[in-house]
Amino acid sequence: MYFRRKTSAGRAYLQIVESRRDGAQVRQQVIATLGRFEELKASGQLERLVRSGARFAAKAMVLSAAGDDAAIKIAVRRLGPALVFERLWEETSCRAVIAELAGKRKHGFALERAVFLTMLHRLFVSGSDRAADRWREDYAIAGGARLTLHHLYRAMAWLGEELPEKEQDGRTPFSPRCIKDVVEERLFAHRRDLFTRLDLVFMDTTSLYFEGAGGRTLGRYGYSKDHRPDLRQMILAVVIDGDGRPVCSEMWPGNTADVTTLIPVIDRLRRRFSIARVGVVADRGLISAEALAELEARRLLYILGVRERSDKLVRELVLNDSAPFVPLMMSKRGKEIDYEAKAVTLAGRRYIVCRNHQEAEKDAADRAAILAALKRQLAKGDKALVGNIGFRRYLKTIGDEHFAIDAAKVEEEKKFDGIFVLRTNTELNPLEAMLCYKQLWTVEQTFRTAKHLLATRPIFHKLDETIRGHVFCSFLALVLKKALEDRIAALDRSGSWPAIIAALDSLTETEIEHDGKRFVVRSAPQPAASLAIRAAGVALPPTVRDAAAC
């Protein structure tokens, strides 16, 4: 039912109308005609009628007052982030595990709440703990109002605190066992069942730099993947399982070489998570002759990327093998990609040669552009060309001071177009091995999330324990991000992560005062927020509720 202003013979009347469905059509039926609109308005009868009805429709009146700015706004809080991720924090056992471990001491504050707040800040804004302390003031987070910046610092230090010497069994040569390791192990135990396997793991590393002096032992100068060799850094490794779920994180001093870390991490994984057999998928940066020998000695399964240009056996024999390729069509991010693969065995080693046809076309086009530019430069003079890395690979020396395009080098480069080579001791067929290796992009995506979406870097902490706690909160954020993505996928839906975060962040509740009473009015959720709320299995609070009941 609704009011309708009806004009007839030049006069306006106010009517109460009801909509009724008659078969496939909707028809309106006039319940009552209240009189001429101008007379009702002039006499005040319309106002009295609305106020009388308002006693039975307080919700509508509050919404109308809030929308017309007729009510006094007292406070606005964002409720979407905590609404969804509080439930996931519970279901993944993050809350129970941290609360139990923290409960063994008397911290004097809700340490679990401080960790949750910091993790939530990583997901939505990120930055320093000082920024998290300011950020919480605008959000409805249970227990958040009682936290201070000092509490956040203490929570980070607790997470990164070294365990007693008697609990250091299984540490790597690069880092001690800490409380955050116990959290990881208990979280894995929570989701482990008879069908949970950890026989295939993916690992990759990145560097995170410090602003200032860095950690006591973590902050070291080393090869910087961030192109900041002037700053101290640490190395972060993330290990995920075959389903893309984060398993654990490792943190090492910034001068630790990747090739020295693989075997210690595998040994530690087997001890920490009681794994009988491990299959390792890793990129070429983690490979060394010593690492391969150790993998073979431990009879561990592996699929490892190979440096096809610098490995002479691969460059001269494996790539020239005449065995036919087997084609495969894959879909990645909505695009169809043509692959092909074949197995080549030489000197007791099994290689998988893979080609991405789209990448091959791109490599050929890039080379053609370089050669065209090179020819133009040669026509002008060639003395400066040798300093250009892109040009230099295609040049040969003529005499003492001049250069020319080397046709043999050009032909040699063609065989690398779209090619990547794997070395494995598994019995997987070429396509299966390639698919396992391609899953490694999930780890790379995890790092992109950790470094850009979560903005783990740069780090302002100086102590090793607070640094470890700071980075570990980003790991916890990745755990909850994956949990929400899995639940959305279970609904057979998909969504843009930035859109989901933005939509949840826009969901607010406003405390207002109207007619001497206080109410809390919730905004309408955007579609992306509704999807996340449904996936998490939580209910939205009422659109309007009495503030005294909150």
366-423 per-position pLDDT tens digit: 989 888 888 887 777 666 555 566 667 777 777 666 778 888 888 888 889 999 999 9
In degrees rounded to 5, what are phi and psi of residue 254? -65, -10
Asked whether residue 490 carries a pLDDT value surpassing 80, the answer given is yes
Instruction: List pLDDT tens digits, range 114-141.
Output: 999 999 998 898 778 888 889 999 999 9
Q: What is the pTM of this model?
A: 0.74
- Beta strands per DSSP E along 116-266: 200-209, 233-241, 246-253
pLDDT of the residue at 84: 96
Asked whether residue 346 carries a pLDDT value surpassing 60, the answer given is yes
Instruction: List pLDDT tens digits, range 269-319.
Output: 878 887 666 677 777 666 677 777 878 887 778 888 888 888 888 888 999
How many angstroms from the chain centroid is the CA of residue 18? Answer: 50
CA-CA-CA-CA torsion for 341, 346, 349, 353, nearest 10 degrees? -20
CB 353 within 8 A of CB 321: yes
CB 425 within 8 A of CB 323: no
Tokens of 146: 């009682």
CB 232 within 8 A of CB 255: no
Tokens of 124: 């939505």
Domain ranges of the chain: 1-56, 76-171+463-550
Computed on alpha carbons and rounded to an integer, the radius of gyration of the chain in Å comes to 32
- Strand-pairing partners, residue 545, are 520
The overall average pLDDT reported for the chain is 82
How many angstroms from the chain centroid is the CA of residue 96? Answer: 23
Instruction: List pLDDT tens digits, range 72-96.
Output: 666 788 999 999 999 999 999 999 9
